[in-house]
């Protein structure tokens, strides 16, 4: 794996603290549900699949704190309130809720909950590797990919979605280069994606968000690949703010625009992206980035964390089921059938 995003240590959940990257690589052991919840809310752990895995482990942490059913139920409700957009969070918590009766009727509820959280983690790793292999077939030796935000090992159980496609292509012997948008306001592309790609030996060039259209116009990019936090039944995809604009630029310059995500990021109960809840975050992320104020007091701010890219702007959606091309609805309907 390019990076070990998190690991169960028996006495708690250990994560790499993404606040500190790229300057310091430090790990934090969380032994209370509140610590896990705050880590998710403050983006110490982030990325839709990683949030789901952390939440699942958070339920096991709750059983460590107090191995009582009511306490674990309250912990699940606390974790549900952390972030609204990434559907993987709710998938993982629903999965943990679904085994509570079995866990507490067994001789060792903690072991049962820990095993299920580990299964959520291992399943995500397998799904990401599978979708990455499918996506790698879209890339040719010598291609250059533009990506936005971080959809790599740091955002998942440890392999990645959009970056996983790149890793898989490199493992196949293809030479792939990457341009990474910095991803304002929290610079996940600059701080995390470039760090992760450099650590993995993949050549990467950092650009400001407002350079993406020019780079596309200059013909430097062969493909755009992004992740997703929630995908509706029609193929509309919510991802980090700025993704929608990037899809428009890619379409204008006839560059394929791909979305890579496991089925745990799909919400088949939502007909379109218009129904996806969009998280709004603290205004300080805009006016006082990393502790330095860069905008005047007394003005209004708007800080949505995500936007929705309409299905018509997406060239293909990549999941562990394969590669879907427009029109998406019928293919995604088949993907929704449980094997």
- The answer to pTM > 0.75 is yes
**In 3-state terms, what secondary structure has residue 32?**
coil
My answer on whether omega of the bond before 330 falls inside 30° of 0, hence cis, is no
User: What is the per-residue pLDDT for 3?
Assistant: 78
- Report the C-alpha gap between 24 and 19 in whole angstroms: 9
> C-alpha distances in angstroms, 200 versus 126, 130, 168, 240, 261?
19, 19, 12, 23, 21
User: What is the per-residue pLDDT for 291?
Assistant: 82
Percent of the chain beyond pLDDT 90? Answer: 96
* Model confidence pLDDT, tens digit, residues 252-293: 999 999 999 999 999 999 999 999 999 999 999 999 988 899
| 267: β partners | 232
For residue 217, give both structure tokens: 């116009």
Residues forming the active site: 229
User: What is the per-residue pLDDT for 290?
Assistant: 82
* Model confidence pLDDT, tens digit, residues 206-237: 999 999 999 999 999 999 999 999 999 999 99
- Report the C-alpha gap between 278 and 238 in whole angstroms: 8
3-state helix, strand, coil in the chain (%, to 5): 45, 15, 40
User: What is the per-residue pLDDT for 236?
Assistant: 98
- pLDDT score of 78 more than 70: yes
């Amino acid at each position: 794996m390019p990076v070990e995003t998190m690991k169960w240590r028996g006495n708690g959940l250990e994560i790499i603290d993404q606040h500190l990257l790229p300057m310091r690589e430090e790990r934090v052991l969380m032994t209370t549900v509140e610590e896990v919840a705050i880590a998710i809310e403050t983006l110490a752990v982030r990325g839709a699949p990683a949030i789901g895995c952390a939440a699942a482990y958070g339920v096991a942490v709750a059983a460590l704190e107090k191995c009582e059913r009511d306490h674990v139920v309250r912990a699940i409700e606390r974790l549900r309130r952390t972030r609204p957009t990434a559907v993987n969070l709710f998938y993982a918590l629903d999965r943990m809720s679904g085994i509570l009766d079995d866990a507490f009727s067994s001789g060792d509820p903690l072991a049962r909950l820990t095993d299920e959280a580990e299964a959520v983690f291992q399943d995500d790793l397998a799904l990401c590797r599978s979708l990455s292999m499918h996506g790698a077939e879209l890339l040719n030796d010598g291609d250059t990919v533009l990506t936005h935000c971080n959809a790599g090992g740091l955002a998942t159980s440890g392999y990645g979605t959009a970056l996983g496609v790149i890793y898989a292509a490199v493992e196949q012997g293809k030479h792939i280069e990457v341009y990474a948008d910095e991803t304002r306001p929290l610079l996940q592309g600059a701080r995390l994606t470039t760090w992760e790609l450099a650590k993995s030996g993949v050549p990467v060039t950092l650009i400001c968000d407002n350079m993406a259209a020019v780079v596309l116009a200059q013909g430097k990019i062969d493909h755009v690949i992004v992740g997703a936090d929630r995908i509706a039944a029609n193929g509309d995809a919510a991802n980090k703010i700025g993704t929608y604009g990037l899809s428009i630029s890619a379409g204008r310059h006839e560059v394929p625009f791909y979305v890579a995500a496991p089925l745990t990021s799909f919400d088949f109960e939502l007909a379109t992206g218009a129904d996806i809840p969009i998280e709004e975050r603290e205004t300080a992320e805009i006016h006082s980035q990393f502790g330095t104020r860069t905008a005047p007091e007394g003005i209004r701010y708007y800080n949505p964390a995500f936007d929705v890219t309409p299905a018509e702007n997406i060239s293909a959606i990549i999941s562990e089921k394969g590669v879907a091309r427009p029109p998406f609805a019928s293919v995604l309907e088949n993907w929704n059938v449980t094997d």
